[in-house]
Amino acid sequence: MTPSSKWISSLAVMAAVSLISLPSAAAESDAAGASTIVRAWDLDLTKPQDVQTLYDRMQSAAQRVCEREARDHYQSTRRWAPVGWVEGCVTNAVDSAVRSTRDPLLAALHIRTGVARSD
C-alpha cells in the first residue's frame, strides 16, 4: 500500500465515524460530530494479517467514538440513547469507513464478518 493510500484510509475512517451522531445540544454546537483517526502507516494492506489489524482498529475506534457520543448525549439531555444505538452506530461507521477506503481486501474481510450493509 502506498503512503497516499494509507493516508486516505486513515482519513476515510475519521470521516465515516464523524458522520454518526445523536441529536443533542452538544451535537448541535459541534457540527463536525465526533471523529477519530485510525492509523495505517505501519501496515501493508497487501497482507491479510495487516488488513485484519486495520479492521480491528476501525472497529475499536468506532466503538470508542460511538460510546462517547452516547455518553455525551446522556450528559447533555439526561436521556439514554435508544436501545441498540451504539451497535448501529459502530456498524454504520465501520461500513462507511470500509467503503471509503475502496480497498478490496478490506471490503472482502468486512463482507466475511457478516456486518456489511446491503444498500
Q: Is 119 part of any domain?
A: no
| Total of domains in the chain | 1
What average pLDDT does the chain have? Answer: 79
Which domain, by its residues, includes 90? 3-113
User: What's the average model confidence in pLDDT over 85-99?
Assistant: 91
- 12 CB neighbour count, 10 Å cutoff: 22
Query: Residue 109 contacts by C-beta under 8 Å, 6 or more apart in sequence?
Result: 48, 51, 52, 55
User: What pLDDT, on the 0 to 100 scale, is given for residue 25?
Assistant: 45
Q: Per-residue pLDDT for 27 more than 50?
A: no
Q: Is 76 part of any domain?
A: yes
Q: Is 39 part of any domain?
A: yes
Q: Cα torsion for 91, 97, 98, 99, to the nearest 10°? A: 110
